[in-house]
Chains A and B, each alone.
Chain A
């Protein structure tokens, strides 16, 4: 059972480049989300989705786009990378079928923007 899978594990970008962070889950979870973790800042919500075709902004959405065409996948796009986007990115999912079902996190993508 793979759970939440994130690729790549590491990525280095130059300022202005674009890229997509991939996230896939095999638990048929309705809810998916992206967080970033920065030193001294904890985890902050970027975007989230409550089902295919539905996305919404979190606390720090600027500079990121998302889409949810399938239940399984929730990619995060950086259109023009900036050094301020250097961070560790975590994708997470959970089920609405169980009350209080906790978030399941992937192992993260460490992104450096130079």
Chain B
């Protein structure tokens, strides 16, 4: 049973436009959420996170929104750049088991930003 779902396997956007990557979760115990970015032949790198006590967290061009009632989060990238082309993983954890440790990942979304 997949607890973190990224239902769209890919997304293509024009450079300069907004990219919206979606993620849904089923486990109501999850209270910390992260996005990781992965380039080919490299390991995932941390991008941005959000605790369940917030509904929005912003870091430069990246904003993560959390809707707890819908068990849904999204990553917005504005403006999108060709260097943002990568696989994006959504991940979730339960804080009292180690917010930064035992992560459950989604399958990933491949983002392509067209010049």
Chain A residues with CB under 8 A of B99: 99-100
Q: Known contacts A42-B106, A48-B102, A108-B43; can you find 6 more A-B pairs with CB under 8 A?
A: A42-B108, A48-B101, A59-B104, A96-B98, A106-B43, A107-B43
- Is the pair B98, A102 in contact by a Cβ cutoff of 8 Å? no
What is the size category of the interface that chain B forms with chain A? Answer: 20 to 34
Q: How far is the CB of A41 from chain B (nearest CB, A)?
A: 6
What is the size category of the interface that chain A forms with chain B? Answer: 20 to 34
- Is the pair B100, A94 in contact by a Cβ cutoff of 8 Å? yes
With beta carbons under 8 angstroms apart, the residue of A48, A50, A90, A99 that contacts B44 is: A90
Q: State in angstroms the CA–CA spacing of A45 and B93 once bound together.
A: 12
A→B interface (CB under 8 Å): 4, 31, 33, 35, 40-45, 48, 50, 58-59, 90, 92, 94-96, 98-108
B→A interface (CB under 8 Å): 4, 6, 9, 32, 34, 36, 41-46, 49, 51, 89, 91, 98-108
Among all A-B residue pairs, the 7 with the closest Cβ atoms: A105-B43, A102-B46, A42-B107, A43-B105, A94-B100, A42-B105, A101-B100
Q: State in angstroms the CA–CA spacing of A35 and B36 once bound together.
A: 14
Q: How far is the CB of B108 from chain A (nearest CB, A)?
A: 6
- Is the pair B44, A43 in contact by a Cβ cutoff of 8 Å? yes
Given contacts A42-B89, A102-B49, A105-B43, contact A31 B101 (CB under 8 A): yes
